[in-house]
Structure 1
Amino acid sequence: MSKLDEIKERYGDDVDIIDMVHHFLTCENTDKQKERVEQGRLGKFYPSSIGRCKRAVVYQMLGYPTKPINGQSLLIMENGTGFHNRMEDIFEKMGILVAPELSLKDEELRISGRSDAIIWNFLKREDEQDDEEIVLFDPNDSEKEIYRGPANHILIVEFKSIKNKNYTKLPKSKPKTAHEMQLQLYFYLTGIKKGIVYYENKDNQESKHYVVEYDEQLINQVKTDIKEILDYADRRELPEKEGNALDVMCRYCDFRNLCHTPISEDQWIELYFNDSEAS
């Protein structure tokens, strides 16, 4: 079989280059999900799941099948990754980067994930006393130290790239609750006591940031939520639904058709917008 015949067999005769790109990305992502199941990587809790519907998180932890992610959505995710990398490069050139990321692990909470950037704490006051010493290690080499020193000499930065309509709805004085809780979990796992949630408007690159302080009460809430999710997963049971079929959180959920009556994407959109107009 020639290379041209191979391409036509894989993508079809009547497609354009955009369809081919989207098809490739969707298939590649599906293969990665299958590999995750085959390698026994289920049952882990990922920090990015903080604030999500608990039922959806348990679905994910137990390996329930998701609807395929379309190529355009995967390209949007890649843009978010590009934003992270771009900012880390800028921070390094500015001379404020300590490390581009940290490995985050906790056996009790079954945490597996990585943070975003660690930078020097330019917010530290001259009269501020040093906190206790912490040691952080390279995520690619568990024996290589990347930082040893007072906890308040560094900050952890969480990058978020969001659409304009969500960017304009950001609170005035603090980040979105889920993002603040995610940073609190990072504080618990690393010993760092202060951080920044750094937002970029993906439509025009406008930026906004919020400083987040260590909050023990919030940390305890996050730990309680995670343990509740782990308990459901261990019992192979599902938490109650947190939304109805027409909520935005459900309409865009990967597990939507497991929770609600399975219908097509066009039917969901028609149902959602007709209901919104009527209310």
Structure 2
Amino acid sequence: MPPSPIAANVRRIFDCGDYLGYRFSKYFTEMGMLVAEEQPTKLESPPISGRYDFLIQHEVYGRTIVELKSINDKGFKALITDPKTDHYLQLQIYLNILNIEHGIVLYENKNDQQIKCFDVSKNADVWEQLLNKCYHIMQLTAMPLACTGEKYCRCKEVPNGKAMDSAISG
């Protein structure tokens, strides 16, 4: 997708997320748990890359990836037994690439700073499904006629690939 300027309010939202990360870095450091933060992870084939938020030394699970998320009050209250699917899948990618058995998705409510944590174990079946989806996409010979992503996917803004074609050609 062609780059687009970031609106001022979106920049402020990102900044809030950055400061959330700074606070939790301080907390994990003060607890003597922080091993690493904001480290890139990469798989060559299929090409998958990302950057996990924290690697901590958990007293029960040992090395544990923590994915930190800020969320509005409505979304926070909707999280009952499991993290959001996209956050779960993001953590599965990091756990499998780094061969770490456990992770945590930690949510902070933007309205009142309450937190919720969801333990996640590495799942080989989910990982295999993710890899197969990537390989399937890599084998496509034509661009899909419509976006199959979530309702918020930016690809939905591209009408029948025309904007993408013009961005690629020039």
TM-score by length of structure 1 reads: 0.52
Runs of 4+ more than 4 Å apart: none
Q: What is the SS of the residue equivalent to 2:143?
A: coil
In 1, Cα distance between equivalents of 2:63 and 2:8 = 38
In the alignment, which residue of structure 2 is the partner of 1:72? Answer: 9
Deviations 1:114-170 (A, max 9, x none): 11101112224xxxxxxxxxxxxxxxxxxxxxxxxxxxx211100111111211111
Code of the residue aligned with 2:148 in structure 1: it is: E
Identify which of 137, 143, 152 aligns with 1:229. 137
In 2, Cα distance between equivalents of 1:240 and 1:231 = 17
**Does residue 1:190 correspond to 2:80, yes or no?**
no
In 2, Cα distance between equivalents of 1:239 and 1:222 = 22
**Does residue 1:107 correspond to 2:44, yes or no?**
yes
In terms of Rg, which structure is larger?
Answer: 1
1:74-223 equivalence runs, <5 A: 74-124=11-61, 153-170=62-79, 172-223=80-131
**Does residue 1:242 correspond to 2:148, yes or no?**
yes
In 1, Cα distance between equivalents of 2:75 and 2:35 = 30
In 2, Cα distance between equivalents of 1:84 and 1:156 = 14
In 2, Cα distance between equivalents of 1:70 and 1:203 = 22
Aligned length, in residue pairs: 160
Q: Is the 8 A contact 1:66 1:255 kept in 2?
A: no
Q: Is the 8 A contact 1:102 1:116 kept in 2?
A: yes
Q: What is the SS of the residue equivalent to 2:106?
A: strand
In 2, Cα distance between equivalents of 1:241 and 1:96 = 41
- Structure 1: unaligned runs, 5 residues or longer: 1-63, 125-152, 244-248, 261-279
Deviations 1:7-45 (A, max 9, x none): xxxxxxxxxxxxxxxxxxxxxxxxxxxxxxxxxxxxxxx
Code of the residue aligned with 2:27 in structure 1: it is: I
Q: What is the SS of the residue equivalent to 2:132?
A: helix
Code of the residue aligned with 2:63 in structure 1: it is: I
Q: Is the 8 A contact 2:146 2:156 kept in 1?
A: no
Code of the residue aligned with 1:182 in structure 2: it is: Q
Identity of matched residues, % = 33
Higher strand fraction: Structure 1 or Structure 2?
A: 2
Q: Is the 8 A contact 2:38 2:52 kept in 1?
A: yes
Q: Is the 8 A contact 2:55 2:65 kept in 1?
A: yes
Q: Is the 8 A contact 2:147 2:156 kept in 1?
A: no
Code of the residue aligned with 1:198 in structure 2: it is: L
RMSD: 2.2
